[in-house]
Amino acid sequence: MVFSSLVFLFLFLPIVLVFYYLSGSKFKNYILLIASLFFYAWGEPKYIFLMIGSILVNYIFGIKVSSDKKNERKVWLIISIILNIGILIIFKYTDFFLININSLFKINLVLPKIALPLGISFFTFQTMSYVIDVYRHDGKVQRNVFDLALYVSLFPQLVAGPIVRYQTVDEQIDRRTHSMDKFAVGVNRFVVGLAKKVIFSNQLGLIADGVFSASIVDLSTLEAWMGIICYTLQIYFDFSGYSDMAIGLGKMFGFDFLENFDYPYISQSVSEFWRRWHISLGSWFRDYVYIPLGGNRVSLLKQYRNLFIVWSLTGIWHGANWTFMAWGLYYGVLIAIEKAFLGKLLSKSPRIFRHMYLVLIVMIGWVFFRAENIIQATEFIKVLSGINQNPLCNSAFLNYANDSGGIVILAIILSTPIISKIKKLIKLKNQKIVESNIIYFMHSTLIMSLMFIIVIMLINSTYNPFLYFRF
């Protein structure tokens, strides 16, 4: 079940909200837990037991690492990390390892073809953060297994994040506030995220898929650029839209999740981009990998080693393919270069140059992220650069530009904070107007209109993937 489905919007969510708000405070968590388990089982019925097993095991680990015996605590922490990473390796990377072993040693080991459980990368990182936070005394041990199960399985953020850290919501599980204002903010945020997904990401995805599925020899340079621009926008509106929906749903049930995106495409360096993109993942690797390795407190050589480790892990976390490893190392090398000398040069350059540099770097990176293999990625980049003998323009590009040029331009505009800046400017100069009934009416009309458009588009479309579900 996905948020942008009619079943979720008109059946699952309304039923859960009714039961949740009709129940007493003692039962709200149980209602959410049952709903979350049902939500996960809807798409992955057999793997619900894997998630429940992970919750139970990490519940025990949490209790063990909270003991007063320092050596014993450390042993249990190590065991918990090995087990959690082991589960991730088995279900996500077994076939990848065997394929490469077969290729390297010219043998034919049978692939078990283990299906990838939905959201395993996200809920595994959450269970690991829980145990580590308890070990560090950054969070209290959860003695109620049902409350821990709710933290891990909470359906708004279960399958595609943001990665909610235990220390962020440990108190909210027991005590959180509900109000009409908070609920309204949640609904608005959810609808905006849904619009990002259905109106923009889905439409841009059709173009990106068409370009990347075409034969390299048939592409023109402009068609390739159209494809990567659309994918660059698609993945932003897809993932930030999902995060908006998760944050909005969280508020509807009284939770406050941290932001996961902050207009990353306005960045002026790779380092800044990764402070704005998938913030929860970047902060997770920073706090649980980079800093424990020494972070910036070690020699320069070790700092580069730490960057190499973190970005290798970031790449492979996204998927069992060499393209993801190449994508991670690509960013690791770029951040290291910026750290060495490029950052200082960029700071002295005009703002527009820094921005163009960042956007170009990110789009090239997305080629590796989207391509099926390294060969396709390198050949696609050659087409982009004009190195191949591909024509500059073809009929496919003209058709894409004619049919979808408007939505691409609008998506580019909306990927910047221009709308939020206009709203702030109006609010500063016309506070009385902003607080008037007319503005509230116009805002409500806009939200309802967006929802109407979304429903119509969902009814008439069968293309509705979430890109990050496969991670």
pLDDT digits (tens, 9 = 90+) for 288-346: 999 999 988 888 889 999 999 999 999 998 888 899 999 999 999 999 999 888 888 88
Positive or negative, the CA dihedral 124, 324, 292, 255 is negative
Of residues 170 and 234, the one with the higher pLDDT is 234
pLDDT of residue 150: 93
In 3D space, the residue among 132, 134, 140, 137 whose CA is nearest the CA of residue 170 turns out to be 140
* Confidence (pLDDT) at 184: 92
Q: Is the pLDDT of residue 198 over 90?
A: yes
pLDDT of residue 429: 64
**Is the pLDDT score of 274 beyond 80?**
yes
Q: Which of 139, 172, 151, 160 is nearest to 260 (CA)?
A: 160
Given a cut of 60, whether residue 98 has pLDDT beyond it is yes
pLDDT interval class at 433 (50, 70, 90): low
Burial of 275: CB neighbours in 10 Å, binned 0-12, 13-18, 19+? middle
Q: What pLDDT score was predicted for residue 437? A: 65
Arithmetic mean of pLDDT, 35-47? 86
Residue 461 pLDDT greater than 80, yes or no: no
Q: How does DSSP classify residue 387? A: -
Q: Which pLDDT band, with edges at 50, 70 and 90, does 428 fall under?
A: low
Q: In the chain, what percentage of residues exceed pLDDT 90?
A: 57
Task: Determine which of 46-50, 102-106, 115-119, 285-289 has the lowest per-residue pLDDT on average.
Answer: 115-119
> Exposed (0-12), middle (13-18) or buried (19+): which is 127, by Cβ within 10 Å?
buried
pLDDT (0 to 100) of residue 175: 85
* Lowest-confidence region among 40-44, 223-227, 233-237, 444-448: 40-44
Please give the average per-residue pLDDT across 29-44, as a whole number: 89
pLDDT score at 67: 82
The span from the CA of 411 to the CA of 285, in Å, is 30
Two structure tokens written together for 258 = 């941290």
Q: Is 449 helix (H, G, I), strand (E, B) or coil?
A: helix
Decide if 116 contacts 470 (C-beta within 8 A): yes
What percent of the chain has pLDDT above 70? Answer: 94
List of residues 6+ apart from 104 with CB closer than 8 A: none
Where residue 468 falls among pLDDT bands split at 50, 70, 90? low
Q: What is the mean predicted confidence (pLDDT) over 404-425?
A: 88
DSSP track, 52-71: HHHHHHHHHHHHHHTSS-HH
Mean pLDDT for 388-407 is 90
- Across 272-301, average pLDDT: 91
Exposed, middle or buried, 199 (CB in 10 Å: 0-12/13-18/19+)? buried
Q: Is residue 359 classed exposed, middle or buried when 0-12, 13-18 and 19+ CB atoms within 10 A define those classes?
A: middle
Q: What is the pLDDT of residue 411?
A: 95
Confidence at residue 430, expressed as pLDDT on a 0 to 100 scale = 64
For the entire predicted model, the pTM comes to 0.90
Least-confidence region, from 6-20, 169-183, 215-229, 252-266: 169-183
**DSSP single-letter state for residue 415:** T
> Of 147-161, 189-203, 237-251, which range is least confident?
147-161
Give mean pLDDT, residues 225-246. Answer: 94
Of 57-71, 232-246, 412-426, minimum mean pLDDT range: 412-426
Contact criterion met (CB below 8 Å) for 83 and 65:
no
Please report the pLDDT score of residue 469 as a whole number. 62
pLDDT of residue 370: 92
Positive or negative, the CA dihedral 247, 132, 124, 319 is: positive
Reply yes or no on whether the pLDDT at 466 is more than 80. no
What are the residue numbers of the active site? 318
Rounded mean pLDDT of the chain?
A: 89
- Distance separating alpha carbons of residues 349 and 343, to the nearest angstrom: 10
Q: In the prediction, which pLDDT does 64 show? A: 92
Q: What is the pLDDT of residue 157?
A: 84
